[in-house]
Structure 1
Amino acid sequence: MDKQLIAIGTHPIEVGHYMLPTKEVLRLMENLKKIVTNRLPGMIVYGRPRLGKTTALKFALENLPNFINAPIPIFIANSNTYRFPSEEKFYSDLLYDFDFPFVSRRKPGELRNQIVNLLKEKAETSGTRRVIVIMDEGHNLTEAHYQWLMDIYNQLDRAKISMSIISVGQEELLSRRTFFLGQRKSQIIGRFMTHEHRFFGITSLEDIRSVLHCYDSPEISEYPENSECSFTRYYFPEGYDKGQRLEKDAGIIYRQFMDLRREHGVKSKLEIPMEYFTYAVENALKIFGTHGDQLEWITSQQWLEAIKLTGYIESEIYMALAHRGDNE
């Protein structure tokens, strides 16, 4: 393959816009399949920050229609925080995130009807009479927000349209559910929080090996299209042709992460956020590969440098301090 055909800075590794079907993504997809197949109204997806929850959910949902052989419309909205939440702000934000072309100041009821009509139209056009709404940063949702979502849900239900709300956020989502339980808000829990999915980062050597395999395999990470060139092969063509693979370096990378943690006194259970792990891989490919030092392959020391550049260990130290403060 002639690499001159690819302008420097345009490869998915350099742009940062690519998704990998990791084990965690596939596990999430299985749970989403249950939600959709059984027409369940909601689920919470939670985990520590920077695990790649939203990215994984987008990947899973983009591929879900093929997985279940049904073109279900999917909408994504951000759960914004305001000092004084209001229906008007909430509904306007939803319309904006749903790419509605004519968002204007109107009464809350009119805005809600616009949302319902938009979701209804997409659900009917798809033929499934189903719609999925993802609420990102779902730990920001208050009781009022869920009540407003319930109003949308009820209007769609009367039109015989099923809506599933997937709230994605940090572990505070569980605390929010516990609070609602204490307040006897069973209508909120029953609709949107009965089902849950705990999203994990990388917790083992096998997880590392599985993710690295995605970079090595042209069936998964081919670029450009129809080139049979994986991300690994593109950046290290000589090493790849001689049998080198990122997957074979899994043990080295695992040890570097563990040694860094021990060196800085990080004693928490291993869970590497996907964001930091992919940054480490991207650093190694960009710095030492075909657009950088043009090395044949990556050494153990260079892997360590790539990991350190991500800021992973600083994040772990701050997380440990934050949790210690919570327990004091």
Structure 2
Amino acid sequence: MPDSLKRPVDPSAHPLVNRAYMVPTPAIAAMYSRVRQCIRRGVAGAVIYGHTRWGKTYAIRYCVRLLHLELPRVAVLTIGMPRNPSRSEALFFGMLLESARHGRPDSGTALQRRLRVYHKLAELVERAAGNKLIVFVDEAQRLELEHYEWLRDVQDELERRGVRMFTFLVGQPGILNRKSSFRQSVDTSQIVSRFMVDELRFDGFRAADDLKMSLAAYDTSTFPDGSDWPYTRYFLQRAFDTGFRLEKQHLALWDAFDAAHRRARFDFTMEVPMEYVARTIEIALVENMSHDAMDFALSPALWAQAVDESNYVAALEDLRIIFVDDVSAGL
């Protein structure tokens, strides 16, 4: 390979190969816009719901990064709810301490842990030199009534300390059933008014134009940072330098997913999860790296192969019943 084509790092160190990168999507943009709107309007709680594999956890990470950049005086905390979470007060507050990176999350009684949570969260807000705490709860459909009550206690205590807490419950559509059930009782309706005032559906890709934003990010995101090596150029340098851009491939990529969708005879409207778009692009770039040439193009056959290897069809076979239920429910 000529010196001019030598890459600055080994492919094994590239974020795309290691799946250690982030690109925006229309759904992420909508989610971040809603988060910012809630903060501006003082809406203390919102539900953001979408199917598994839609990229919600990824979206939380992206939103957290943007909040740190654009609102540096706001403290941000992310809590990931485990499967079958314990209803132990001590374990729950220990989990909050661990999320806040406290040095002793597993020691002490429930009361001691609770008090340490109050102090630690107030400390995070003070360190940010502001008066707001943003909390993202991932897999929020796993929260039980007790967890909501403990979060309410945290919110109340922070209010007493002059801190405004905003909570974004990010989970699967089943969380809407929990919201409906809470509304039925006076004792639990306040949970809705505190944590579930607003709601947003987190979508997959629904049209070819939806792909443009993400594809363009591969053409502009660089590694190493600030270098002249956009992701697309790193893998297809000769093609990139003669005008190839992934952003221009949005129709071809959409057609490949559409063809796979039709071959599988899915009886629901196509909506492609971010996970499989990203995986398809990764396969297309990495597998064709050795084929790079000035006139190289990702043909329909190559895109079809990448979609097939992404396991998109197999994944949606597993989710077929969920999509059918969505159509019935009008989601």
Asked if TM exceeds 0.5, the reply is: yes
Aligned residue runs from structure 1 range 1-328, under 5 A: 3-67=6-70, 69-82=71-84, 84-184=86-186, 185-217=188-220, 221-289=221-289, 292-294=290-292, 296-322=296-322
- Given that 1:236 and 1:297 are in contact with CA atoms closer than 8 Å, whether structure 2 keeps it comes out as no
Aligned partners of 1:257 and 1:28: how far apart in 2? 24
Cα distance in 2 between the residues matched to 1:98 and 1:237: 42
Return closer, same or farther for 1:259/1:32 CA change in 2, 3 Å cut-off: same
CA distance in 1, matches of 2:243, 2:142: 48
Unpaired stretches in structure 1, ≥5 consecutive residues: none
State the Cα deviation string for residues 76-108 of structure 1 (Å, max 9, x = none): 111124375211111111212222111234221
8 Å contact 1:29–1:61 — kept in the other structure? Answer: no
Number of residue pairs matched?
321
Preserved CA contact (<8 Å) 2:85 2:142: no
Identity of aligned residues (%): 26
Gaps of 5+ in 2: none
1:216, 1:231 within 8 Å by CA — same for their partners in 2? yes
Distance 1:51 1:117, change over 3 A: same
Decide whether the 8 Å contact of 2:100 with 2:121 is kept in 1.
Answer: no
Matched residue SS, 1:91: helix
The 4+ residue runs of structure 1 with deviation greater than 6 A are none
CA–CA distance in 1 between the matches of 2:236 and 2:86?
Answer: 53
Distance 1:325 1:59, change over 3 A: closer
User: Per the alignment, do residues 225 and 66 of structure 1 end up closer, same or farther by CA in structure 2, a change over 3 Å counting?
Assistant: closer
> What CA RMSD, in Å, does the superposition of the two structures yield over aligned residues?
2.0
* Amino acid of the structure 1 residue aligned with 2:15: P
Tell me, yes or no, if the aligned pair for 1:261 and 1:267 is still in contact at 8 Å: no
Which digits, 9 at most, give the CA deviation of each residue in 1:90-143, with x for residues without a partner? 111121222211123422121111111001011122221111111110000011
Conserved in 2, the CA contact under 8 Å of 1:9 and 1:15?
yes
Q: CA deviation at 1:31?
A: 1.0
Three-state SS of the structure 2 residue aligned to 1:73 is strand
Note the alpha carbon deviations across 1:9-46, whole angstroms, 9 max, x for none: 11111111111133322222211112222333211111
